[in-house]
């Protein structure tokens, strides 16, 4: 079975399993989406949502976080991993948005990736979920699953993104990256399926009889 054939099977199973998909991170606007994605690094979406549900009703604009200052931001997000580094990024990022972009989140990858704490994956999520621009954010989970399903050689996260963009039409990207994440959490877990038991793995590799070990990014 070729990569293209596997990609078609994956898309078919995911669309049947998740015909409708919900954005996992809660947000009030594009700015709070940006903050939530930044906070989600090395942290679960559930934990981020539990923290931000007490923040966003009151603080949801860049100028709010500028007025708060770094130390108060730290107190608000202290239940999240590496909170001091993230608080510093959020504070400086907010100041840049106020001073340079009139409190608006910029709409290009280049401008987003210039902001502190914002890498390509974070920018991709904001472009996709915030602005509706076709993007394919690839995190460590998608990187792992794409290898299990034979859609990439797993060289690194950047290569996985390139490979997936080649295999899947652009019109599917924004929904598909979320479908993959949800499927991985529910059916193809890192320490459960091992490439041997979920529907996608058994369909793409019916003769696989040893656990598949994915390359780390």
Which among 5, 22, 12 has a CA at the least distance from the CA of 185? 22
Q: Is residue 14 part of a domain?
A: yes
Q: Is residue 64 part of a domain?
A: yes
The answer to whether 192 and 125 have CB atoms below 8 angstroms apart is no
The set of catalytic residues is 121, 139
User: Two tokens at 35?
Assistant: 């903050």
Same domain, yes or no: 41 and 121: yes
Last residue of a domain, one of 84, 111, 130: 130
Q: Is residue 212 part of a domain?
A: no
**How many domains does the chain fold into?**
2
- Please give the full DSSP string across the chain, using - where no structure is assigned: --HHHHHHHHHHHHHHH-SS---SS--SSHHHHHHHHHHTTTS-HHHHHHHHTTTTTT--SHHHHHHHHHHHHHHHTTTSTTHHHHHHHHHHHHHHHHHHHTTPPPSSHHHHHTSTT--HHHHHHIIIIIT--------HHHHHHHHHTTS---S-HHHHHHHHHHHS-GGGHHHHHHHHHHHHHHTS-TTTTTTSSSHHHHHH-TT--S---PPP-
| pLDDT score recorded for residue 190 | 86
Q: Is residue 216 part of a domain?
A: no
User: Two tokens at 12?
Assistant: 């078919």
C-alpha distances in angstroms, 184 versus 138, 142, 163? 13, 8, 19
Same domain, yes or no: 56 and 90: yes
Which among 201, 209, 210, 216 has a CA at the least distance from the CA of 150? 201
User: Rounded distance, CA 211 to CA 206, Å?
Assistant: 13
Same domain, yes or no: 178 and 155: yes
pTM of the model: 0.91
Last residue of a domain, one of 111, 130, 149: 130
Residue 105 backbone phi and psi in degrees, to 5: -80, 125
Q: What is the pLDDT along the chain (217 residues), one digit of tens a residue?
A: 899 999 999 999 999 999 999 999 999 999 999 999 999 988 999 999 999 999 999 999 999 999 999 999 999 999 998 999 999 999 999 999 999 999 999 999 999 999 999 999 999 999 999 999 999 999 989 999 999 999 998 788 999 999 999 999 999 999 999 999 999 999 999 888 989 999 999 999 999 999 998 887 7
| pLDDT score recorded for residue 1 | 87
Range of the domain at 92: 30-130
Q: Is residue 210 part of a domain?
A: no
| pLDDT score recorded for residue 42 | 86
User: Rounded distance, CA 72 to CA 83, Å?
Assistant: 11
The burial class, CB within 10 Å (0-12 / 13-18 / 19+), for 87 is buried
User: Rounded distance, CA 190 to CA 186, Å?
Assistant: 10
Last residue of a domain, one of 106, 130, 154: 130
């Amino acid at each position: 079975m070729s990569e293209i054939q596997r990609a078609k099977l994956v898309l078919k199973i995911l669309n049947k399993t998740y015909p409708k998909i919900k954005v996992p991170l809660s947000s009030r606007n594009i700015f709070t989406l940006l903050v939530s994605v930044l906070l989600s690094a090395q942290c679960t979406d559930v934990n981020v949502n539990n923290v931000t549900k007490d923040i966003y009703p009151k603080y949801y604009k860049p100028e709010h976080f500028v007025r708060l200052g770094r130390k108060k931001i730290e107190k608000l997000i202290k239940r999240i991993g590496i909170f001091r580094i993230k608080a510093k990024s959020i504070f400086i990022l907010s100041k840049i948005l106020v001073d340079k972009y009139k409190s608006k989140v910029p709409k290009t990858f280049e401008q987003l990736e210039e902001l502190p704490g914002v890498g390509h994956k974070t920018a991709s999520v904001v472009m996709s979920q915030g602005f509706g621009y076709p993007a394919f954010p690839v995190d460590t989970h998608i990187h792992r699953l794409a290898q299990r399903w034979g859609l990439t050689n797993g060289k690194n996260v950047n290569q996985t993104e390139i490979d997936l963009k080649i295999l899947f039409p652009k019109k599917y990207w924004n929904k598909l990256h979320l479908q993959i994440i949800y499927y991985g959490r529910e059916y193809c877990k890192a320490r459960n399926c091992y490439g041997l038991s979920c529907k996608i793995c058994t369909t793409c590799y019916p003769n696989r009889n040893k656990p598949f070990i994915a390359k780390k990014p």
